[in-house]
Amino acid sequence: MYLQLLPQPLGQGQDHHNHSLTSGAISAIKSTSSSHTAPLSTRAPDKLNRCTSPSADSNGQCATDKFATGLVQNKEWAAKYPELFPSLAFGQQPEILWIGCSDSRCPETAILGLKPGDVFVHRNIANIIHYSDLNAACVIEYAVSHLKVKHIVLCGHTACGGVSAALGNKKLGILDAWLMPLRRLRQQHLGLLQGLEHQEAIVKLSELNILEGVARLKENSVVLNAIEERGLQVHGLIYDVASGLLRELEGGESHEVIKARLTAFKTQD
């Protein structure tokens, strides 16, 4: 059973168009009367870009400090969308729920060439769909039932560290429990995977994991109802980190087969 997240009530003057929108208000960083620190927006960029690493130069500059660089570049990035951000303060209307890997090389909005507000996102190690994952279940129900997304995308990628780890037998602590579905898939397709080079095996197990995850998503009652009632689409994609290209996977169980399995056993009234 999945948790139900309720949208916030409509405020005064808010029209029906925003009824299903969640609150996305952007908070401004302001100084308080008790603080002597200048607001972030008025601090000199050179102070933001200082670091204390051994590689810093005499002026405290550190070319490899991505966090400091990101803070400086944030103002330039925000300035590219002068009309977008004020509108996002009133809510969100994403059409896509993206479930992907936590890997830093797979930024969904950038990959799709979209903007903030276009994609509702959930990511985890190796983009695994666990039946018992309460976090993912909440995200899925909220996106499908309240945001009314039109597409669910489950996306894996090549050169995935989680998939590579699942192909081995090294003890990984808490990750062992998380990767168990992948290791079950590895065992089910052992003959196929053993005949492949390691990188090819990573891609193949990634594809199997995506197709398995798509089937599990379609077994979710909220997703199943949305497929039948309003044509929600569920996609399995794999992202090639070496080319930046997405590929949609074919195959897997059809909606009809999954529905038949779910309704095969009926209890008496």
Q: Let me know if 101 is a catalytic residue.
A: yes
* Positions in the chain short of pLDDT 70: 1-64, 263-269
Q: Dihedral of the CA atoms 82, 83, 87, 88 (nearest 10)?
A: -40
> Percentage of the chain surpassing pLDDT 90?
69
For 108-125, the pLDDT digits (tens) are 999 999 999 999 999 999
**What is the spatial distance between Cα 209 and Cα 193, in angstroms, rounded to a whole number?**
13
**What is the spatial distance between Cα 196 and Cα 163, in angstroms, rounded to a whole number?**
14
Angle between the 198-219 and 180-188 helix axes, to the nearest 10 degrees?
Answer: 110
Report residue 229 CA to chain centroid gap.
25
Q: Which pLDDT belongs to residue 132?
A: 93
Q: Which pLDDT belongs to residue 63?
A: 58
Domains detected in the chain: 91-265 (3.40.1050.10)
Q: Report whether 101 belongs to an annotated binding site.
A: yes
Q: Identify whether the C-beta of residue 258 lies closer than 8 Å to the C-beta of residue 264.
A: no
**What is the spatial distance between Cα 227 and Cα 235, in angstroms, rounded to a whole number?**
12
| Catalytic entry in 51, 160, 186, 216 | 160
Q: Which pLDDT belongs to residue 258?
A: 80
Q: Which pLDDT belongs to residue 112?
A: 98
Ramachandran class of 252: left when φ > 0, alpha when ψ lies in -120 to 50, beta otherwise: left
What is the three-class DSSP state of 10?
Answer: coil
Q: Which pLDDT belongs to residue 269?
A: 55
**Count of all residues that appear for the chain in the document:** 269
For 116-157, the pLDDT digits (tens) are 999 999 999 999 999 999 999 999 999 999 999 999 999 999
For 200, the enclosing helix (H) or strand (E) is helix 198-219
| Catalytic entry in 103, 106, 122, 186 | 103
Q: Let me know if 155 is a catalytic residue.
A: no
**What is the spatial distance between Cα 34 and Cα 166, in angstroms, rounded to a whole number?**
52
| Catalytic entry in 51, 62, 65, 101 | 101
Q: Report whether 103 belongs to an annotated binding site.
A: yes
Q: Report whether 146 belongs to an annotated binding site.
A: no
| Catalytic entry in 122, 155, 157, 216 | 157
Q: Whole-prediction pTM value?
A: 0.74
**What is the spatial distance between Cα 147 and Cα 20, in angstroms, rounded to a whole number?**
6
Q: Which pLDDT belongs to residue 33?
A: 34
